[in-house]
Chain A
Amino acid sequence: MAGNRQALTAMQAGLASCHVCGKLQSCKADHHCVRCGSRLYQRKPFSVQRSWAFLITALILYVPANLYPIMNTTSLGVKDEKTIIGGVILLWSMKSYPVAVIIFTASIVIPLLKFLVISLLLFSIWKGHSGKLNQQTRLFRIIEYIGPWSMIDVFVVILLVALIQFGGIATVLPGSAAMAFAGMVITTMLSAISFDTRLLWDSE
């Protein structure tokens, strides 16, 4: 454990650690980092607004991503369209339990968790009085880490589309939900990248 005899934040001391390279330095207006040359900010600029904007975009994309088919299969002349949840149900009925659980978690649970946690934290910053900041910070780090894993289903679609053209068993085409879903994952990641956990602690 490193000592903190001052119990002072970098901002209170007139310092800033560069948001790109982490170098701690004194912060004046319109300053650039002495180490990497990036613009120096004590907090990510427009963090709350950008985080909300990306999150709301993601939430809008979440609707078509789940309503429209993610994959269109033609097998021996029989057409079949599957939504994400339809695919999960099919896998479950075929007794592929581990894969069904992986897809359900990555495609349905993780995005919902991200929406919930990021919007709760943004409300917490807005209201100024914040509960257990330790837990909120840890929750955000977990969400930030598991977020990109939602891409699994997009990769599966890309692979199946590419592979089954050659396979000659059937043809698989990406459904309209595939791009909406990929866009949803990317915008939630951008929302997390824009979020600044230090804003939670500033009210303390």
Chain B
Amino acid sequence: MELVQHLPIDNLVACHSCDLLHEKTALGKGEKAWCSRCGSLLYRTNNNAIEISLALTIASLLLFLFAQLLPFLSIDVDGNKTTIYLISTIDTLSQLDNVLLGIAGALFLVIIPLGVLLLDLLLLSSLYSNKRPLTLFARQLLLLIGRLAPWNMLEIFLLGVLVTIVKLASIAEIALHQGFWAFVALVMINLFVSTTLEPEELWQAIDKH
């Protein structure tokens, strides 16, 4: 335990993959620090991404609404045209006998992605506006977002949508509509935000309050 007193903890970082301690060094723009023993990523430069992420989160929420509520695609079988909305998938699934699959669908397609977006909006806007009562909840918000993150599978769902379209195209004429393109844009923005905004930057912003 005596060792601890001599170590400048604030200037150290432990590798998440192998636990080796490293001294932090200043990084240039866009640079990354790697573990010298196992090669894992130690940390990156701060992207100052809170403001841009807030703007993109608001855009994502709108796109999410568009994707759910605007026509997603239409199927044409021998002149019988049916237009499909993403939101109606949950409705159909809830009418099936298979309750568990309905719950899984609702969780992965609507509740988790929408929940994460709303939590992001609350957290980022409270950090951006710097209001005291909001930042008090920021820690809890960030903890919850971290818990949900591995289960947010929007980009995997998009690949599922593409596979479904290819499968359907063999039996019917398929036309893609605004809802589909809103969903594609949503996934792209999501990928951009998740690679730009580091949880560590958010923790540091919370620490400042």
Contact = CB atoms under 8 A, between A and B. Distances in A.
B131 to A, nearest CB: 20
A16 B21 CA distance: 10
B42 interface: yes
Contact of B199 (A2, A22, A24, A91): A22
Interface residues of B, number: 67
Interface string B128-171: 00000000000100110010001001001101110110111011
Contacts of A112: none
Contacts of B13: 2, 17, 24
Given A14-B4, A24-B9, A198-B19, A148 B25 contact: no
Residue from A17, A133, A157 having most chain B Cβ neighbours under 10 A:
A17
A149 B155 CA distance: 9
A26 B12 CA distance: 12
B123 to A, nearest CB: 13
Interface in A100-118: 102-103
B205 interface: no
20 contacts: A4-B21, A10-B21, A13-B21, A15-B12, A22-B16, A36-B142, A36-B143, A94-B170, A102-B159, A133-B38, A149-B156, A152-B159, A155-B108, A155-B156, A156-B163, A158-B89, A158-B109, A173-B96, A197-B17, A201-B37
Interface of A: 1-17, 20-26, 35-38, 42, 91, 94, 96, 98-99, 102-103, 133-134, 137-138, 141, 148-149, 151-163, 165-169, 173-174, 178-179, 182, 189, 193, 197-198, 200-202
3 tightest CB-CB pairs across the interface, nearest first?
A155-B160, A162-B89, A10-B14
